[in-house]
Amino acid sequence: MSGRVAVVTGGTRGIGAASADALRQQGYRVAVTYNSNEQAAQAFTSRTGIPAFRFDAASAEQCAAGVQKIVDSMGPIEVLVNNAGITRDAMLHKMTHDQWNEVIQTNLSSCFNLCVGVVGPMRDRGFGRIINIGSINGQTGQLGQTAYAAAKAGMHGFTLALAREGASRGVTANLIAPGYIDTELLHAVPPEELVKIRARIPVGRLGRSEEIARAVTFLASDRAGFITGSTLTVNGGQHMY
């Protein structure tokens, strides 16, 4: 494991930042990607020493160039964490085509854009770890999130198919489905709504980014070599099946 190159998309804040830092502490050589928040990226790199590469995960052309830049700088990518994501919440009858397309491209097409550049070399080397960050709302649906839920559910099917394709070549693909995690995304939720959310979580609290990061480091490790095509739910018991 030591010295393997790991890339975390959307890795300068929240779950992505926690996952990148946890991988770094496990001995991986980590890079993160980001699209727009230069200040957050600089602060993250200053705090962790992890380099941040700027490109839009929704753009196939930028991803191809960005992946090549990371490989040229750090070496072959052996672990990829597809974490980049946005929300553009609206009831379907009020949702615009632009809102729908932004969410699908950033949350789902980004998985293809990144994977298509790394899976071939992973197969050739006989080792690779693809970890896709889904959501409880891709499993259960959520009011006002038809686009987000569709993208996250799509990641599930994408992961299953990719797992079948890579299994015989040492490349695993798994999905982590977080529940409600205490990140910036939830900070905009009115306090009274947060109370209702907590009431639906059997353990009685929001999750922490570090708890998702522990799942990431496990699935990235040699210990998880017999796990592929799986969904690991980390949601405090809110959704059980």
Q: Are 208 and 150 in contact (CB under 8 A)?
A: no
- Return d(Cα 142, Cα 89) in angstroms, integer: 10
The tokens for 180 are 């409600």
User: Can you tell me the distance from the alpha carbon of 110 to that of 155, in angstroms, rounded to the nearest whole number?
Assistant: 10
Please report, for residues 109, 160, 174, 213, 234, the alpha-carbon distance to residue 164 in angstroms, rounded to integers and kept in the order given: 19, 7, 11, 25, 23
* Rounded Cα gap, residues 218 and 224, in angstroms: 7
Distance CA 74, CA 13 (A): 22
> Of the residues 28, 34, 148, 180, which is catalytic?
148
Query: Any catalytic annotation for residue 148?
Result: yes
The Cβ-side half-sphere exposure at 29, using a 13 Å CA radius, reads 12
Catalytic residues: 148
